Amino acid sequence: MFLASDNTGPVHPNIMQGLAEANDGFAMGYGADAIMDTVRAQVREVFEAPEAAVYLVATGTAANALALATLCAPWQTIFCTPVAHIHEDECNAPEFYTGGAKLTLVPGGDKMTPDALRRSISGEETRGVHGPQRGAVSITQVTERGGVHSLDELRGLTAVAEEFGLPVHLDGARFANALVALDCSPAEMTWKLGVDAVSFGGTKNGCMGVEAVVFFDPAKAWEFELRRKRGAHLFSKHRYLSAQMVAYLADGLWLETARQANASCARLAEGLKARGCNFLHPVEANMIFAAFPRRIHQKLHAAGAQYYVWDGSLEGDDPDEMLAARLVCDWSITPERIDAFLAHFE
Amino acid sequence: MFLASDNTGPVHPNIMQGLAEANDGFAMGYGADAIMDTVRAQVREVFEAPEAAVYLVATGTAANALALATLCAPWQTIFCTPVAHIHEDECNAPEFYTGGAKLTLVPGGDKMTPDALRRSISGEETRGVHGPQRGAVSITQVTERGGVHSLDELRGLTAVAEEFGLPVHLDGARFANALVALDCSPAEMTWKLGVDAVSFGGTKNGCMGVEAVVFFDPAKAWEFELRRKRGAHLFSKHRYLSAQMVAYLADGLWLETARQANASCARLAEGLKARGCNFLHPVEANMIFAAFPRRIHQKLHAAGAQYYVWDGSLEGDDPDEMLAARLVCDWSITPERIDAFLAHFE
Amino acid sequence: MFLASDNTGPVHPNIMQGLAEANDGFAMGYGADAIMDTVRAQVREVFEAPEAAVYLVATGTAANALALATLCAPWQTIFCTPVAHIHEDECNAPEFYTGGAKLTLVPGGDKMTPDALRRSISGEETRGVHGPQRGAVSITQVTERGGVHSLDELRGLTAVAEEFGLPVHLDGARFANALVALDCSPAEMTWKLGVDAVSFGGTKNGCMGVEAVVFFDPAKAWEFELRRKRGAHLFSKHRYLSAQMVAYLADGLWLETARQANASCARLAEGLKARGCNFLHPVEANMIFAAFPRRIHQKLHAAGAQYYVWDGSLEGDDPDEMLAARLVCDWSITPERIDAFLAHFE
Amino acid sequence: MFLASDNTGPVHPNIMQGLAEANDGFAMGYGADAIMDTVRAQVREVFEAPEAAVYLVATGTAANALALATLCAPWQTIFCTPVAHIHEDECNAPEFYTGGAKLTLVPGGDKMTPDALRRSISGEETRGVHGPQRGAVSITQVTERGGVHSLDELRGLTAVAEEFGLPVHLDGARFANALVALDCSPAEMTWKLGVDAVSFGGTKNGCMGVEAVVFFDPAKAWEFELRRKRGAHLFSKHRYLSAQMVAYLADGLWLETARQANASCARLAEGLKARGCNFLHPVEANMIFAAFPRRIHQKLHAAGAQYYVWDGSLEGDDPDEMLAARLVCDWSITPERIDAFLAHFE
């Protein structure tokens, strides 16, 4: 009954198999392995972007921080939501990698609105050299609250960025979960809308630890390579990153695992709804924020369930007080486990 | 016949087995996995250092740069050799992670002498606030040229650091290869001599990608954790780093693989010696720098051998010109391969 | 009729005289001048802080950024208002000098409330190593909107910082203007309330370009000196910074110039009030934010007045539309100029 | 008898006069003062460079570090001599401002030779992404040991930089002293040879604290402005930097003060030669490194002379031991003082 995060589950057997197959004989290090050639071709095909620059790193924070540093100067500011992972959960990694750029929090929730974004951008660069300069716009898809921007919503945001000539970064730690929710193509969700760089997540969706960074314009490819090395994120035994990504993309595994996760989440959401839970955010991918009484939280925890109580505390006098849970489904969670979780609501 | 580096070989089956075993069910992320508890205990036992702070990262550059940044302020300078990995092969990662500290290259070869180190340290801080301040001393064991400092040599260097009150970092990317060459204990090679922090390598010695950073004084543990996260080097699915390290240390695997690598290297060195090669550096661990005629280099490369021609170029008119090769043996290279390599010298 | 800023006016004759007197013969550079000894003694006496560490720099941004970098680690966040100079007007200098710390904008206006500050601080460090850690609290006195925190208001804020064990920085670019408004002692406005470091401004109050940074606890003095040098803010001909500060503090000149500026501002505020202007913020020191019709703005600009139209644009169809002006009085503005300014309202 | 440095002397009366004249009424801040327009025109005329971007800062370290950061990426290395000011005397400011670039010390003395420079540059970028990348070449004119590169020597170095496509920075803290020694034009000593950016010193040659940074290609002008502001080096009361530079350049004052300094130095050198001193370096501008017996050092110091004993210590048993002195003449030193200094040799 682990619903704490989509990084607590195991690695998909196909990925493990890929690693085992890669573990044969010698291979050149540092990204010069032959498997990486396949990865590059696969990613370009998946994105219908034959010129794209494609790199692998092992953590989502590395993907985000390196991509943003490549798009954004130290005297600029990055536009994101107040709940963005790059703001709340990366211990100032974007500030570190950019050399001290700022993050401007666009007022609102886990999705920016074009108007709010335009107001935030307009509010910067009104003071000449004194204030931070306008830098990249970073959009999270799936959002940190489980929402999925529609293509229209994304286009609304990238259009504003375009208006001001700003580059767009997509934090796609849960890229696949969003893609299958929207049932569109990777190209439609990215460069066709004006996205410049994507953090294309693998780790949360069945891999061991691999994320691709994709730049649709390869002009900054070499700079990125140097930034990756300088950041200590270039793997010597790089083939084991490549092997994960190859297996992840082969035969649509990445879409299959994402569909499983989203389906499990939908099953859980239905069950919670049937049991009268309130939802703090619409359930659109593989993450739920739902409120239910303390006594049920306590029962669940006593039974070994693992998830974050999002606000409030498990301890407390009032057994009927409503507390919110964050429940995240990964590819591996079974219907049985979900039903077992729900059984505690009786 | 891959002798390019000890990171071109495969992962040891025990490590692969460890990963497979770890891949069961759910586990808390970000270092809170139960396997990490075992790792911590193992490392402390191996080092006879029950208080040591122990962390895992995936690359040697991350281990070095994060350790040095924790030991050294931005206005200080790190003392190392002109051929140190931190100087030549990390694309300014130490400068990046320290926030702009300098590296002072102690004149000499791949081993510092205590006198040269003392002179270099004495040469700094003679200008008050104007010059860089004295920072950490970083020693590489095995050196970049395949040398192993004796315990006396190490003590000579740490004594100088102690004289000036400077912390000592040991870049142990090939820690195990040195240890088995010296036939001493980890404690004898580190904290008993005054080493403060060790980059304890696994990747070059049979792992997939894992290095431990060990601080014998845990006072800076929390700072290190924040630096690791900020550097994007904290793995979400951390158990797969832990699992590698557990398997690496179990039943002395790490010593066994190191012994194999060193033994292969000795076999290769003997063969080269018998064939009249000159050695640029004493062969003390798993790395050889040997000179032989261009025509043999060409024969070897034509036969698919992979290694770096260290100086000079494979192309060239004079078939008898002597060119140096860097030949690195990893744990997996077989006697047959070595003999096949040597056969091309006939 | 210059009311654009308190840095557009001339240097007070006493300061010029001080510079001329200092310009005699030779003096050791880099802060080793004899005048600096006097400055140190003066500042310590003014602040009743015999142990304080005292340094001079030439710009307010340098004072703020260096002080904050000394108080705050790169993985922390600084608490300030959304309109703080360090956030809006220093082009990411605090982020640069701290090595990538974040600024958390405490919701509200130009004064933080203790409750809002407590909520902001409480909101950080709820995610372990993932989020930024709690760093310094930075308070601006006089605020960017011309407000002066009462001693009680300051104490309310420093008490919250104390509660969480956080250091407090006071951005006192207009320290003297606040002090004479409150009619208290420097000690009462700073260390007696728990302030740890002060940017003690001279430039906006009659100097040419000098700010003192004062640390009440000298423990970080040497670190500050290294940071100042590394930031290229240590003057070689330092005596010309010292000479300004000596003259500024001599015979209470600094209080006199501040009183003049505040009195001019009061005169202007009264005149504006009598002419029916609305004030956006209470007028408490030497800065006014007042709204009046576009046609008067146009008349004033045509007559050569210089100040910022704070919102809206001078151009526009409606002559009666109300636009806000920011009007700043420095020590040198005369009653005649103020009356001339007001005359355009007829 | 102050010969410690050319920053220990007073400000030239013309500069003081310029400051006094500038101190009239109101002026826009932050470089928007009218005097800066004059400075820009003057510098462009002096350098015969009508397109040049011209900025003022207050310290030589700021000029150097900001110029280099504008020319050089964080993953690159700057080529300079082992005794360069940027390496020895700026407490890692270039590393700080570049975001962690390295300094490669070209073997040799206070002048690089083209061959040594070529070898150093060739030695970098031999390891792909692993090593630092080739960055700017920084040349010091006058050198730190008082030498002046001939135009041919400079051309030898800039030609090597050009060969590798690297930008060239000239640290001209003593630009004027070199210029009058060579009796050439500023253009001949800079852009006509391929210099891209100059730190054009004023402070050591009669100013209070002002250096111009000149970029002959204005493409990076805006980046420089942002870097200057972010570094806290943009003066609010900027007119007082402008006023110094205007007076410095007016009527050739800068050349006159440099000639005086060089002439004083020549007089002193002759006197020392006549008294049998050995010179460690050729005397070509306003700096002398000369050796004479300890007893004379002691006599001089007892009489109040101020200068650095360059090697060895004033205390010591042997009165006849030869110790080197660094003696720097500024514009203000009089023949009488020099003769008084020399009198102690009798």
Q: How confident is the model at residue A26 (pLDDT cuts 50, 70, 90)?
A: very high
Q: With a cut of 60, say whether residue A302 has pLDDT above it.
A: yes
The answer to whether residue B131 neighbours chain D at the CB level (below 8 Å) is: yes
Which pLDDT belongs to residue C2? 84
- Note whether A183 and A299 are same-domain residues: no
Q: Do C132 and A91 make contact, defined as CB atoms within 8 angstroms?
A: yes
3-state helix, strand, coil in chain C (%, to 5): 45, 15, 40
Query: Is A53 inside a domain boundary?
Result: yes
Same domain as A91, residue A140: yes
Residue B210 lies in a domain: yes
Query: Measured between CB atoms, does A151 come within 8 Å of chain D?
Result: no
The verdict on A295 touching D (C-beta cutoff 8 Å) is no
Residue pair C219/C51 in contact (Cβ under 8 Å)? The answer is no
CB contacts, 8 Å: C96 with chain A: 74, 99-100
User: Å from D24 to nearest chain B CA?
Assistant: 37
Q: Does C230 touch chain D (CB under 8 A)?
A: yes
Q: B132, D74: Cβ pair inside 8 Å? A: no
> Does D157 share its domain with D277?
no
Chains contacting A with at least 3 CB pairs below 8 Å? B, C, D
State which amino acid sits at residue D147: G
Chain A residues with beta carbon closer than 8 angstroms to that of D102: none
Asked if B57 and B25 touch (Cβ cutoff 8 Å), the reply is no
Of D88, D101, D133, the CB nearest to B131: D88
Within a domain: residue D188? yes
Share of chain A above pLDDT 90, in %: 95
**Which tokens go with C3?**
């009311």
pLDDT class of A316 with cuts at 50, 70, 90: confident
The pLDDT of residue B1? 57
**Residue D232 contacts A where some CB pair is shorter than 8 Å:** no
Residues 60-89 of A with CB under 8 A from B: 60-62, 65-66
- According to the model, what pLDDT value does residue B156 have? 98
**The domain that contains B120 carries what CATH number?**
3.40.640.10
Residue A260 belongs to some domain of the structure: yes
Compute the distance between CA of residue D296 and CA of residue A123 in angstroms, rounded to an integer. Answer: 67
The pLDDT tens digits of the residues spanning C95-113 come to 999 999 999 999 999 999 9
Last residue of one domain, picked from the residues A233, A253, A273: A253
Whether the CB of A134 is below 8 Å from some CB of chain D: the reply is no
- Tell me which chains share at least 3 CB pairs under 8 Å with chain C: A, B, D
Residue C144 predicted with pLDDT over 70: yes
Residue A320: CATH number of its domain: 3.90.1150.10
Tell me the shortest Cα–Cα distance from A127 to chain D, in angstroms: 12
Residue C138 has pLDDT above 70, yes or no: yes
**How far off is chain C from B68, nearest CA to CA, in Å?**
16
Distance CA B254, CA B251 (A): 8
**Gap between the terminal Cα atoms of chain B:** 16
Percent of all residues in chain A with a pLDDT value above 70, rounded to a whole number: 100
Range of the domain at C105: 13-253
- Claim to verify: residue C222 and residue C275 sit in the same structural domain: no
Q: What is the pLDDT of residue D126?
A: 85
The closest CB to that of B20, out of A16, A90, A232, belongs to A16
Quote the number of domains for chain D. Answer: 2
Say whether residue B56 is in contact with chain C using an 8 A CB cutoff. no
B234 plus B269 within the same structural domain: no
Q: Which SS3 state, helix, strand or coil, does residue D175 take?
A: helix
Indicate whether D75 and D108 sit together in one domain: yes
> Is C296 among the domain residues?
yes
Domain assignment present for residue A56? The answer is yes
Over residues A181-224, the pLDDT tens digits come to 999 999 999 999 999 999 999 999 999 999 999 999 999 999 99
**Whether residue A145 is found in the same domain as residue A111:** yes
Whether D246 and D271 map to the same domain: the answer is: no
Nearest CB among B75, B95, B105 relative to D91 is that of: B75
Q: Which residue type, as a one-letter code, is found at position C139? A: I
* pLDDT value at residue C1: 57
Mean pLDDT of A259-263: 98
What is the pLDDT, as a whole number, of residue D206? 97
Q: What's the gap in Å between the CA of A98 and the closest CA on chain C?
A: 8
Residues of B with Cβ-Cβ distance to D60 under 8 angstroms: none
Q: What is the pLDDT of residues A119-172, one digit of tens each?
A: 999 999 888 999 999 999 999 999 999 999 999 999 999 999 999 999 999 999
Choose among B10, B60, B93: nearest Cβ to A25.
B10
| More reliable by pLDDT, C1 or B169 | B169
D166 and D73 share one domain: yes
Which among A100, A133, A230 has the least Cβ separation from residue D75?
Answer: A230
> pLDDT grade, residue A1 (50/70/90)?
low
**Mean local confidence (pLDDT), A15-27:** 96
List CB contacts (< 8 A) between D331 and chain C.
none
Residue at a domain's end among B232, B252, B272: B252
With 0-12 / 13-18 / 19 or more C-beta atoms within 10 angstroms meaning exposed / middle / buried, residue C317 is exposed
- pTM score > 0.90 for this model? yes
What DSSP string runs through D99-141? TS-EEEE-SSSSS--HHHHHHHHHHSSSSTTSSPEEEEEEEES
End residue of a domain, out of C208, C235, C253: C253
A29 touches chain D (CB under 8 A): no
Query: Within a domain: residue C198?
Result: yes
Helix axes A239-249, A34-46, angle to 10 degrees: 40
User: In chain C, which residue's Cα lies nearest the Cα of B99?
Assistant: C99
Query: C70 with C210, same domain?
Result: yes
Model confidence at C316: pLDDT above 90 = no
For chain B of 346 residues, list the mean pLDDT of each consecutive stretch of 10.
87 98 95 97 98 98 98 98 98 98 97 98 92 98 98 98 98 98 98 98 98 97 98 98 98 98 97 96 97 95 91 88 96 95 92
Q: What is the pLDDT of residue C289?
A: 97
Residue C126 phi/psi, 5-degree rounding, is: -100, 5
Is D146 in the same domain as D261? no
Is D20 within a domain? yes
- Residue A328 pLDDT greater than 80, yes or no: yes
Would you say D200 and D176 are in contact if contact means Cβ atoms under 8 Å apart?
no
Judgement on whether residues D261 and D221 belong to the same structural domain of the protein: no
Low-confidence ranges of chain D (pLDDT < 50): none
Q: Is B234 on the interface with C (CB under 8 A)?
A: yes
- The pLDDT of residue C312: 81
Residue given tokens 């792909």 in the structure block:
D128
C224 closest CA partner among C24, C14, C31, C11: C31
Whether complex ipTM tops 0.85: yes
